[in-house]
Amino acid sequence: MPLTPDQRAEIEAARATAQPTLRAVSPGMEAHLYRAHEVLDHGFIRVIDYMGDDSAIVQAARVSYGAGTKHVQNDEGLIRYLMRHWHSTPFEMCEIKLHVKLPVFVARQWIRHRTANVNEYSARYSILDREFYIPAPDQLAAQSTVNNQGRGDLLSGPEAARVLETLKRDAAQCYDDYEAMLSQDGQQGLARELARMNLPMNIYTQWYWKVDLHNLFHFLRLRADHHAQYEIRVYAEAIAACTKDWVPAAYAAFEDYRMGGTTLSAKAMAVLKRRLAGEAVGQEDSGMSKGEWREFVEVWG
Ligand SMILES: Cc1cc2nc3c(=O)[nH]c(=O)nc-3n(C[C@H](O)[C@H](O)[C@H](O)COP(=O)(O)OP(=O)(O)OC[C@H]3O[C@@H](n4cnc5c(N)ncnc54)[C@H](O)[C@@H]3O)c2cc1C
């Protein structure tokens, strides 16, 4: 269970206390504030705080005194222009702070995004909970035969049952050993900072993660993409849904130019031009490698 009844009560209490403010408020984001959005079997993301809204991007771009312009269409047009031309610093004026509960192996991928601020639950100071990510049967897949970094067909029958059993058994065994080493019952008890090294990577950790909107978009582009591993992608998708409600105009531009758009190499542009002129072009006379051609054909057919 991602949250205990006490934690849910704390969240509801926090949501019940409102303060008048002169700061920019995004109605879409207010609806998410503090609430936990469940991810995987025990994880969640919840927005703890945010700064700025769509107007703050426009305001920073114009270095103006007020909040954007009076014309929403003008603001949206400017945001689209900024996104189209990689004018990134106005997007850095908005920030989001999240509380995330995630398996350690997902945290290892996530922490590679260096342009954020992180504070993680200390397993030197505290004892980790007995919570492990066990994939749902529809995610228990074999190694992909075409992508070295991906998964292919689902495991089935006795193999699927055996793998699930192994994952559960090993997690339980490691946690039992962790508790036994920590125990001070009739022994000194191993330090928490050492006992934790026996725990598997599917144990859950938690952190606060703060990032500006420009770098959040970079994170989402990489991790909400279908090439990203499912277990981090579902977190990115949950954050993307909140971001869409927070800064709808900026998110729409991001979806259009980054998630839905693509960049073309000079060679790819040349092939497209030749095709538009009616020429049949193959990989051999495209100047592209086989890998480049495969990716080109994935997008352009
Ligand atoms: C599908 C996928 C597969 C991956 N596979 C692997 C893998 O096999 N092995 C592996 O090690 N990683 C892998 N990664 C991680 C990847 O290489 C990046 O580390 C990760 O995506 C973070 O991206 P980033 O560095 O652009 O983000 P951030 O750290 O947030 O940085 C954002 C941008 O800021 C700039 N920047 C930040 N810090 C510096 C710096 N110190 N010096 C110069 N510029 C900086 C860069 O322009 C960078 O793009 C993979 C990522 C994905 C999405």
Tokens 């508790």, residue located = 179
CA distance 160 to 230: 18
Q: Give the pLDDT confidence score for residue 70 in this predicted structure.
A: 62
Residue nearest atom 35 of ligand 1, based on CA coordinates: 115
CA distance 103 to 97: 19
Q: Give the pLDDT confidence score for residue 69 in this predicted structure.
A: 59
First to last CA, the chain: 44
CATH level 3 topology of 5-133+202-259: Gyrase A; domain 2 (3.30.1360)
Residue 227 CA, closest ligand 1 atom number:
1
User: Measured in angstroms, how far is the CA atom of residue 219 from the centroid of ligand 1?
Assistant: 9
Ordered by start, the domain boundaries in the chain are 5-133+202-259, 136-198, 266-300
Q: Does residue 221's CB lie within 6 angstroms of at least one atom of ligand 1? A: no
Q: Does residue 115's CB lie within 6 angstroms of at least one atom of ligand 1? A: yes
User: Measured in angstroms, how far is the CA atom of residue 111 from the centroid of ligand 1?
Assistant: 10
CA distance 255 to 260: 6
Report, as ranges of residue numbers, the positions in the chain whose pLDDT lies below 50: none
152-162: pLDDT as tens digits: 899 999 999 99
Q: Does residue 113's CB lie within 6 angstroms of at least one atom of ligand 1? A: yes
For residue 117, give Cα distances in angstroms to 10, 20, 251. Answer: 24, 28, 22
Q: Global pTM?
A: 0.94
**Exposed/middle/buried for residue 235 (C-beta within 10 Å: 0-12, 13-18, 19+):** buried
Q: Give the pLDDT confidence score for residue 67 in this predicted structure.
A: 63
209-253: pLDDT as tens digits: 999 999 999 999 999 999 999 999 999 999 999 999 999 999 999
